[in-house]
A and B are shown apart, each in its own frame.
Chain A
Amino acid sequence: QQQVKQSPQSLIVQKGGISIINCAYENTAFDYFPWYQQFPGKGPALLIAIRPDVSEKKEGRFTISFNKSAKQFSLHIMDSQPGDSATYFCAAIRYNFNKFYFGSGTKLNVKP
């Protein structure tokens, strides 16, 4: 059973545009929803995260929107830059079980 579904699989955006990546989850017991950024040959790095009692969180050009009733959350990258080109993974976590469920990843390519 796929606990976290992510789309799209790949995304091409022009420099300065908005990149939007979506995730949906199944288990309402999840407590925490992080997004990770991964460059080729590197491990995932935490980008931004949100708890289910908040509908939006913004850090710089990165914003998470969270819809608890729809069990969906999304990452928005404003003013996308070529340096943002990477693979992005959403995840869902239950604190007490310290087990992470990752989405399938979105490969973002920001064209100059």
Chain B
Amino acid sequence: EPEVTQTPSHQVTQMGQEVILRCVPISNHLYFYWYRQILGQKVEFLVSFYNNEISEKSEIFDDQFSVERPDGSNFTLKIRSTKLEDSAMYFCASLPSLGPPDEQYFGPGTRLTVT
């Protein structure tokens, strides 16, 4: 079964540091997403990405965040200067096409801890 992979599984960083979270979406998928989930809270949409550009982003996705697809396989989320409130699980997801997300797969997540 195809799967989305994410690395690292857990990242600890100090406030103000930059972090890059990595995702490898399913190979034939075209739409990519980042979500975050603060512990015990709901899953929040951050950004969607298609054709090498952002298609949609939420209010959370401010100038501290950026996404990139540096090569044909990786999809990264960068947080430039982390804050304590960025501590959360970050999930990557991908879809083969824009439509019913029957085939949307979520990765296992990266737990980001900002100290």
Contact = CB atoms under 8 A, between A and B. Distances in A.
A97 B101 contact: no
A60 interface: no
A42 to B, nearest CB: 6
Interface in A13-71: 32, 34, 36, 41-46, 49, 51
A93 B91 contact: no
A102 B104 CA distance: 15
Contacts of B95: 98
A99 B58 contact: yes
Nearest to A95: B99
B43 A32 contact: no
| Chain B interface category by residue count | 20 to 34
B18 interface: no
A101 to B, nearest CB: 7
Given A95-B98, A98-B31, A46 B42 contact: no
B43, B45, B56, B95 interface centre (most CB from chain A within 10 Å): B43
A4 to B, nearest CB: 9
25 contacts: A6-B42, A32-B101, A36-B43, A42-B108, A42-B109, A43-B4, A43-B107, A44-B91, A49-B100, A93-B101, A95-B99, A98-B31, A98-B48, A98-B50, A98-B56, A98-B95, A98-B98, A99-B45, A99-B56, A99-B58, A100-B33, A100-B45, A100-B101, A102-B43, A105-B41
Interface of B: 4, 31, 33, 35, 41-45, 48, 50, 55-56, 58, 91, 93, 95, 98-102, 104, 106-109
Given A43-B4, A98-B31, A99-B48, 14 more contacts: A32-B100, A32-B101, A44-B91, A45-B106, A49-B100, A51-B100, A89-B42, A89-B43, A93-B101, A96-B98, A98-B33, A98-B98, A100-B101, A102-B44
